[in-house]
Chains A and B, each alone.
Chain A
Amino acid sequence: MTNSLKKGLNKNIVAEISQKKNEPQWMLDFRLKALETFERKPMPTWGADLSHLDHTDIYYYVKPVEKQSREWKDVPDSIKKTFDALGIIEAEQTMLAGVGAQFESEVVYKSLKKEWADQGVIFCDMDSAVKEHSELVKKYFSTIIPPGDNKFAALNSAVWSGGSFVYIPKGVRVEMPLQAYFRIDQESMGQFERTLIIAEPGSYVHYVEGCSAPVYQSSSLHSAVVEIVALEDAHVRYTTIQNWSSNVYNLVTKRAVAHKNATVEWIDGNFGSKVTMKYPCIILKGEGAKGQVISIAVAGKDQHQDAGAKIIHCAPRTSSNIVSKSISKNGGIASYRGLLKILKGATGAKSRVQCDALLLDELSRSDTYPTVDCKEEQVDIGHEASVGKVSEEQLFYLMSRGLSAQEASAMIVNGFIDVFVKELPMEYAVEINRLIAHEMEGSIG
């Protein structure tokens, strides 16, 4: 008899998860209540097709030790090839594939850790935070995304494991991006990670998670919850690059609350997966709050990227900016689903929405579902959408300069997503450009 939990989900499994983690009673109660909510809520039918997702056929908790037992030879060749194309070093490859345990950045991480601690910054995994910073966690945990928000937020609430906890004290500016990368352990890349970021007044933090290399998960469901609280004058930027293997349902809830004059930015890159449903949300709660969502989604063969953004203007002089870029190829489907809501009293609110889709072939598809719900008259809203193809003339122009068809189309695609790539830390930007070049292989005849 092994130590692993069984497939499927019930009260006993949830209790067992909590017990294995030695959690306080309040967290167990929270989990069990969330489980009820999960069981009660129907599957969402308004978005991507989830009819093949079988909840009884999923492991909801896998102990880190067991995850490591996967062997390199079990990792699919397509993933290994992508690692090579991206120039990912071997140690990192094994970690990303869920084979190895540690990544050699431990040393770098230690010195940074001291620097953060001196500033009063807390950056640890969520499991530890529940025990070591319980007052802070209790105060904010699930206040932004309650379990009842949606079926998958409820699921995450019941079975969550890993993720990051970040606390930035008043007035502290963390200049170097906090990277989940640096303290990567098996759990932080788990299926149901839970992240909470609290930025006290006047603080600044840039949190970066994921990387462009494909994350191989044998498990087929990834459902994370990310909550951000940006208090007065705080500035939080959250950058995600995810590249899931093509068997994964990636159903993520991300939401931030921006208080008076605070700024929240979601920079969100979605590659891979079978189905992604993700709509980073910003509630502009305080006067003068600003929100920005810049995202790209790349949908290839048998993939549906249903992604977008939600902004809710609740206060006067709040402003928002959404830039969404999608690329569909080899029959992939990319949908933009956006909600812009302006409440009565949010006078002088400003919002810009721009969504551009690029289709690389006739088989692929792009849909746009923008919803605007405006209850205030004194506002300034702009919406632009475009659907384009890689044109024969552009290809010819670049090829006549000596670039192969593949190089030329990669250049056009990289140009198309440049507004996104520009927002990334340098090393990520380089990787994304390489990833696009790699993805273009075989896409253009």
Chain B
Amino acid sequence: MLFLDNFSVFIDDVSIVQAVSLNLDKGQMHVCMGPNGSGKSSLAYALAGHPRYKTKGTAQLNGNNLLDLSPDKRAKLGLFLSMQHPQEVPGVTVRMLLKEAFCALYPEQSLKVFEERLKVALELLQFEPLFLARSINEGFSGGEKKRCEMVQLFVLQPKLAILDEIDSGLDVDALKCVGEALHQFKKICPESSLLLITHYQRILKYVEPDVVHVLKGGKLVASGTAHLVHSIQERGYDQFS
């Protein structure tokens, strides 16, 4: 699935992420934690192909080299990035984006499949159908933005989803909603892999990670089982050097 080898990320020659290597298998869920500014989001954006980031090393998705591809080509290989601050696109409705994206990724599929996936997603993420007529992310609350990213996840059903702080800025109810939806996603798409970037333990109540990574100062300083999360909660990131 996702294979990183000595993967480094730069912005204007400034090194942000250094020589990360990891292997995320089909159907697995990995969690990436770390203090603010440790390079977690940069890692995610660089993998999705944001033009601001330069990279070195290897990043492959199912054996395909990601690094020379534009973001849409990466999406077509099955990569999805849920963003921490998803962009507003005035006048472009949620339905329009979902449908165009679905058609781009599944040109052979009938729109019936699209409608079915959409229906499930709206129910799970607790959106009224009227929501689809709103401009994407425009005037959305923090919770609506994250739930809308989750709707996209369900409709697009990627092979690898990188979820960047999908649990930030959520109140208790929204967190429960997103957490339970994530749990459902794993059931609906058992072969999809997830890379969850988070600051908090709380979302992990809903989904059990296979591997936990700690990124600090741009370096992968620890990898381990779910126990690592508890250790972070108790003793913070200072224990890693």
Contact = CB atoms under 8 A, between A and B. Distances in A.
A399 B70 contact: yes
B86 interface: yes
B91 A407 contact: no
Contacts of B90: 415-416, 418
Contact of B96 (A392, A400, A411, A419): A411
A412 B108 CA distance: 25
A378 interface: no
B72 A404 contact: yes
A396 interface: yes
A417 B89 CA distance: 12
Nearest to A392: B51
Contacts of B75: 399-402
A402 B101 contact: yes
B87 A402 contact: no
B217 to A, nearest CB: 26
Nearest to B51: A392
Contacts of B49: 396, 399-400
Contacts of A400: 48-49, 71-72, 74-75, 80-81, 83
Interface string A391-421: 1111011111111110110011011111100
Nearest to A422: B91
B113 to A, nearest CB: 15
Given A394-B89, A415-B89, A419-B91, A403 B96 contact: no
Contact of A402 (B72, B91, B135): B72
Interface string A366-406: 00000000000000000000000001111011111111110
A412 B81 contact: no
Interface centre among A392, A403, A414 (most CB of B within 10 A): A403
Nearest to A413: B91
Interface in A200-251: none
A391 B50 CA distance: 12
Contact of B92 (A392, A405, A414): A414
Nearest to A397: B87
Contacts of B89: 394, 397-398, 411-412, 415
A393 B87 contact: yes
Contacts of A394: 87-89
Interface residues of A, number: 24
A400 B79 CA distance: 8
Nearest to B155: A401
B92 A415 contact: yes
Nearest to A419: B91
A394 B83 CA distance: 12
A419 B138 CA distance: 15
A408 B96 CA distance: 12
B72 A415 contact: no
B104 interface: yes
B104 A407 contact: yes
Interface centre among B51, B87, B105 (most CB of A within 10 A): B87
A81 to B, nearest CB: 23
B70 A403 contact: no
Given A392-B52, A396-B71, A415-B135, A403 B91 contact: no
Contacts of B81: 400
Contact of B91 (A393, A408, A418): A418
Contacts of A418: 90-92
A401 B76 CA distance: 8
Given A397-B83, A402-B101, A402-B156, A414 B91 contact: yes
A360 B51 CA distance: 17
B159 to A, nearest CB: 13
Contacts of B5: none
Interface of B: 48-52, 70-72, 74-76, 80-81, 83, 86-92, 96-97, 100-101, 104-105, 135, 152, 156
19 contacts: A392-B52, A393-B87, A394-B87, A396-B87, A397-B87, A399-B75, A400-B48, A400-B75, A401-B97, A401-B156, A402-B101, A402-B104, A404-B104, A405-B70, A407-B72, A407-B104, A414-B91, A416-B90, A416-B91
Given A399-B71, A418-B91, 16 more contacts: A394-B87, A394-B89, A396-B51, A397-B87, A401-B97, A401-B105, A402-B76, A402-B104, A402-B156, A403-B101, A404-B70, A404-B72, A404-B104, A407-B100, A416-B90, A418-B92
Can you list the 6 inter-chain pairs with the closest CB atoms, starting with the nearest? A415-B91, A418-B91, A415-B92, A402-B104, A401-B101, A399-B71
